[in-house]
Amino acid sequence: MTGEVPKEDGGAVSLEDLRQKMVDFVKERDWEKYHSPRNLLLALVGEVGELSECFQWKGEVPKGLPDWKDEEKQHLGEELSDVLLYLVQLSHYCGIDLGKAALRKVHLNAIKHPVNRYIKSIPEEENKKSDDVDDDDDSKITNQDNNNGNGMTENLQN
């Protein structure tokens, strides 16, 4: 890896691309000895704090950040990237395929929060699959999936 900033080619970047880049980056610097799950989690939390500072004192911010300067958006991108890269590394060191885990979580959230509960104009037959899930069968959702998507944990035994 060089110190050059890579040119954006417009192509999609996968989580696997990022994971492998970070494995190489860490190995080249002999940092593996410092990268335990605990240390990576603490570093991730620190980066989330830095990301939060980008929004501090700005009040409610509209989508697209129309009032932000280019430098502020660039800094935000850097902080978002730090969070993503630590998350990718943490999942790697924990042996979790982050892409698969995220897709599974989206699926579990779709079961837990069927569209017809939120959009009343959807015909019932379009949401039949969601309705077929027994609300009392929590075996499909484990404790690690006990997050309502808002960052708040809720009781699955409603």
Question: Would you state the structure tokens that stand for residue 112, as one six-digit string?
Answer: 């837990």
The residue among 131 and 56 whose pLDDT is bigger is 56
Q: Please write the tens of the pLDDT for every residue from 48-84.
A: 999 999 999 999 999 999 999 999 999 999 999 999 9
Q: How many CB atoms lie within 10 A of CB 86?
A: 21
Question: Would you state the structure tokens that stand for residue 147, as one six-digit string?
Answer: 């997050």
Assign 1 a pLDDT band (cuts: 50, 70, 90).
very low
Q: Please determine, for residue 125, whether its predicted confidence score (pLDDT) is greater than 90.
A: no
CA atoms of 30 and 87, how far apart (whole Å): 20
* DSSP letter (8 states) at residue 26: H
Say if domain 15-57+68-112 classifies as CATH 3.30.300.30: no
Q: Decide if 122 contacts 142 (C-beta within 8 A).
A: no
Question: Residue 5, SS3?
Answer: coil
The domain limits of the chain are: 15-57+68-112
Cα-to-chain-centroid distance, residue 137: 27
Q: Does pTM surpass 0.85?
A: no
Assign 120 a pLDDT band (cuts: 50, 70, 90).
confident
- At 144 the pLDDT is 42
Mean pLDDT rounded to a whole number for the chain? 82
